[in-house]
Amino acid sequence: MRLQIRRVYEGPDPQDGIRILVDRLWPRGIAKERLIHDQWVREIAPSTELRKWYGHQPARFEEFRRRYLQELQTEPKAGLVRDVQRAAEHQPITLLTATKDVDHSAAAVLAEILGTLTRPARPADLGSLR
């Protein structure tokens, strides 16, 4: 599986595969018809409450990560994670985000869980996601 994260403000790359926008809000300054993407899966993004609480403050990232991982284990987000995972088994996936600090973003947490889920599952692995 090849999975990467790109900012929406970067141009597309031929190696991107399926380009999935994973932000809840549409990126500022980009017309909908100008963003090259295959899907916008806004429902997979953190809840509005969690997103507002986090406010992109790196000091809150670990707690944000923990809470977002919990959200990703509940429906309907868990089903969307499985859908992206299935797609990633067959072709490259690029998660798109408008976030400036990609390393401390919801897209990074989503990439983390997708990377974990696409390895052959062992009981120890599954316990770490709960």
Q: Is 126 a domain residue?
A: no
pLDDT at 123 > cutoff 80: no
Looking at residue 55, its pLDDT comes to 96
Q: What angle, rounded to 10 degrees, do the helices at 61-72 and 106-118 form?
A: 50
Q: Which domain holds residue 54?
A: 3-118
Q: Is 84 a domain residue?
A: yes
Average pLDDT, the chain: 89
Q: Is 43 a domain residue?
A: yes
d(CA 106, CA 96): 11
- Contact 77/71 with Cβ under 8 angstroms? yes
Q: Is 128 a domain residue?
A: no
Q: Is 33 a domain residue?
A: yes
d(CA 64, CA 51): 8
> pLDDT higher for 119 or 101?
101
pLDDT digits (tens, 9 = 90+) for 15-44: 999 999 999 999 999 999 999 999 999 999
Quote the number of domains for the chain.
Answer: 1
- Mean pLDDT along residues 73-82: 95
What are the backbone angles phi and psi of residue 72, rounded to the nearest 5°? -70, -15
Q: Is 129 a domain residue?
A: no
